[in-house]
Structure 1
């Protein structure tokens, strides 16, 4: 397993589907110049999702082959679909950056925390159930997909108290600002005032 150095941090954005994890994670990642580690998934892309940008979309057979060869650091099954993070991807990104970020459900976040300990900072994002449902409808998700996500809502919300930080997300700019301020202490970018 890759040995993390003192400055390495793995920021994990987690929370229920529809909580705005992706939007916030990408905004915070851009602010800090962090690279995203992209999960592999066996489900079909949803409207607006791009292969290699949102996920690596692969077949069940490809996933099983990668899993058989021990490529996944974490692998979870959600509603019959498999999601995994390759250890090699984390290692490669950390070779070029002190900090990286991922967007994971509570199981994936828990697995990375067990592996990397205090190098992992979990940011839990949430909104009330009705807001989550409205956001998913606006994204054009099918009703059965929304229903599946809502079935996991309470379980995902239960993970909130395990995370290092939790943020209610109703305003992208405000939430991004608050998280950026919180992460400054962890990331210690050694910003120098040039005046």
Structure 2
């Protein structure tokens, strides 16, 4: 059995990564490896489905045990990808999408050089701010922190294989699906 393909999707908060990945995953039947985080769940998020919501102590213990493929502190919280989440799926021949921050994407690429790095961004910085505000899930302080961090994250676009500018959900879904299908064809 051939090994599955690993797709890493990164980009600034508010670029639409979660929405696009959720839709594409559903359309193609691709698993999104569930990340772990120490942040508080947002309304409607469930442990084990959206994230593994861990205490800081549990997260640090998993770091000490070498259980993470990558991890980082983002917006004051820990985020990471458990090795077991990725390796189990890839070994079964399943494609996997990791939706992670840019530093994590580069860490994973170092371990899995064949991984496909896909960078998401909005057409303009104003669009990004409008999307963050439109969520109505974050405080003004958090929005300002995310905007500041977004400018730093945009500098990593050059390190990614492909960029998707999220003009519309439909167009971005189509672009991501084409990338995945083309990569799968190359591997056959």
Does structure 1 residue 68 correspond to structure 2 residue 68? no
Structure 1 outlier segments of 4+, above 6 Å: none
Q: Name the SS of the counterpart of 1:102 in structure 2.
A: strand
Decide which moves more: 106-115 or 151-160: 151-160
Counterpart of 2:166 in structure 1 is 169
Task: Look up the SS of the partner of 2:34 in the other structure.
Answer: coil
* SS at 1:12 equivalent: strand
Partners of 2:45 and 2:147 lie apart in 1 by 20
8 Å CA contact 1:34–1:97 kept in 2: the answer is: no
5 Å-filtered alignment, 1:175-190, equals 175-188=172-185
Instruction: Give secondary structure in 2 for the equivalent of 1:38.
Output: coil
What residue is the counterpart of 1:47 in the other structure? 43
CA RMSD of aligned residues (A): 2.0
Cα deviation code 1:93-142 (max 9, x no counterpart): 22334310110110010001000002x11111101221111112221121
Partner of 1:106: 102
Match of 1:150 in 2: 147
Write the distance in 1 (CA, Å) between the matches of 2:187 and 2:161.
22
- Structure 1's unaligned 5+ residue stretches are none
Q: For 2:31 and 2:117, how far apart are their aligned partners in 1?
A: 16
1:23 equivalent among 6, 19, 25:
19
1:54: how far off?
A: 1.8
Q: Deviations over 1:166-189 (max 9, x none)?
A: 011020011111221222111239
Q: Does 1:89 align with 2:85?
A: yes
Tell me which residue corresponds to 1:116.
112
